[in-house]
Amino acid sequence: MQDGIGVTDRPDISPAEDKTPGSREKGLNRVLEIFEFLHTTQRAIGIGDLAKGVNAPRSTTYTLVRSLVDAGLLEMAGDGNRVYFGKKLYLYGMDYVRGNDLLRRGRQEVDDLSRQTGETSELCMLQSGRYTIVHSSPGTRPFRISSATGLQIPLPWTASGRLLLAGLERADIEDMVSEDDLVLPDGRRLKLDDFIADIATAKSTGYCVTSGLVDAYTKCLAAPVFSVPGKVEATMCLVVPIDTSREKTDELLILLRQRAARLSIAA
Partner DNA sequence: ACAATTTGTCTCTTACAAAAGACACCTGTA
Partner DNA sequence: TACAGGTGTCTTTTGTAAGAGACAAATTGT
Residue type, 132: T
User: Which strands sit side by side in the sheet containing 232-241, from one edge to the other?
Assistant: 152-153, 130-137, 120-127, 232-241, 218-226, 208-211
Find which of a second copy, DNA, none residue 129 binds, CB within 5 to 8 Å per kind. Answer: none
Phi, psi of 162 (to 5 degrees): -65, -35
- The residues in 124-163 that bind a second copy, with binding defined as CB under 8 A, are 125, 127-128, 132, 134, 148-150
Let me know: does 222 contact 228? Beta carbons within 8 Å. Answer: no
Asked if 223 touches DNA (CB under 7 A), the answer is no
Asked if 59 touches DNA (CB under 7 A), the answer is yes
Among 4, 46, 48, 86, binds a second copy (CB under 8 A): 86
Asked if 97 touches a second copy (CB under 8 A), the answer is yes
Let me know: does 120 contact 217? Beta carbons within 8 Å. Answer: no
Among 5, 32, 200, 216, binds a second copy (CB under 8 A): 32
Looking at the Cβ atoms of 1 and 28, the one nearer to a second copy is: 28
Distance CA(45)–CA(47), nearest Å, equals 6
The closest alpha carbon to 106, from 137, 140, 83, 77, belongs to 137
Looking at the Cβ atoms of 25 and 233, the one nearer to DNA is: 25
Looking at the Cβ atoms of 147 and 149, the one nearer to a second copy is: 149
Among 11, 14, 23, 245, binds DNA (CB under 7 A): 23
CA 31, 34, 38, 43 torsion: positive or negative?
negative
Residues lying near DNA in the complex (CB under 7 A) are found at 1, 5-6, 22-28, 30, 46-49, 56-60, 62-64, 66, 80-81
